[in-house]
Structure 1
Amino acid sequence: MIRLLIADDQALVRGALSALLGLESDIEVVAEVGRGDEVVAAAIAAQADVALLDIEMPGIDGIAAAAALRDACPSCRVLIVTTFGRPGYLARAMRSGASGFVVKDTPAAQLADAVRRVAQGMRVVDPALAADSLAQGVSPLTERETDVLAAARTGGSIADIARILHLSEGTVRNHLSSAIGKTAGRNRADAARIADENGWL
């Protein structure tokens, strides 16, 4: 029996996934949470074999939750199931320790099969997303440029971003300028939008 944890901030989606996967004779839903920062404690308490994680959740996102789970409970494998099938998300999820990545419109039988395969230690990736990811390549942004663009999404000033990231204002300007050039954005807001749409943030 595969012990499954489901994490999704939308109660309706979480309930539907639980009901569908709970019909499988070899899958038991042992925990459901609505926040990313509840995943690790729930997985440990429920002794989950597989954690099915959404990306966009309050607390921490599913990719950060996957990394936290890898460190705290390495025996629990992660399958990302998301509406946001962005190539950059796929690469980040795999680096964070996820074993699988599929989109929410995956048919129920295929989703159950993905859970089984991940539980067996296999990797499962949505084929169309894998092709898009290969065609697009990896994020052109450095880790610091990514941090600065993510902070710029809130619309704060250069001084605000510098304070949040503990950098000088000149360093923030340099990173923003580089990120704008690499994304071909018109300005920092446009660069942040482009990076977000590609799943790089």
Structure 2
Amino acid sequence: MMEPISCAVHGVNLMALRPNQKALVIGDGFMGQLFAQILQCYGLVKVDLAGISAEKLALGRRLSNIHATYKTDCETLPVEAYDLVVEAVGLPATQAQAIQACRRGAQVLMFGVGAPDAHFTMNTYDIYQKELTIKGSFINPLSCMDAISLLESGRLNISDLISHELKLEQVPELMEGKIGETTKALVTFPN
């Protein structure tokens, strides 16, 4: 679990955070859930979560002190409402939503891994007029000790994010989609 946590911590460390900021995390999967918790650990008091799974959004409300949730396949995200937006999906549509959700002076962290040839359209005047800062985050340089500290603090709920514990021989079933909806699967090895 250290690797994904340290990647999220690295992304958060790239941003200029202040406790009074309102944040939106787009993506209700494992990384989005981590970001919601980590932003709260870093002192942000208002964090919203957006995604497509009602179950995962409910999990986010249970694990984090989420202020509001949005089901993006049937609800419109607030426009110009957030000081910080973390895009943890990597799709052009959600990347465009991240820009639209920003208020003046906001920061966007593009964390979701998009296809190498994917593009999204944004209004360059909005970037200029809103004075947006857009950053990308790649891997986890020099963030493992911060991730370890967060885990040791007990402030991250990781165990409830693990939806499946599998044996090695079950991995092909998981890869073929035969296991069902997963948030995060751990593979256990015999001693």
Which entry has the higher C-alpha Rg, 1 or 2?
1
Identify the structure with the greater helix proportion.
1
Identify the structure with the greater strand proportion.
2
TM-score, reference length from structure 2: 0.38
Higher relative contact order (CA 8 A, sep 6+): 2
TM-score, reference length from structure 1: 0.36
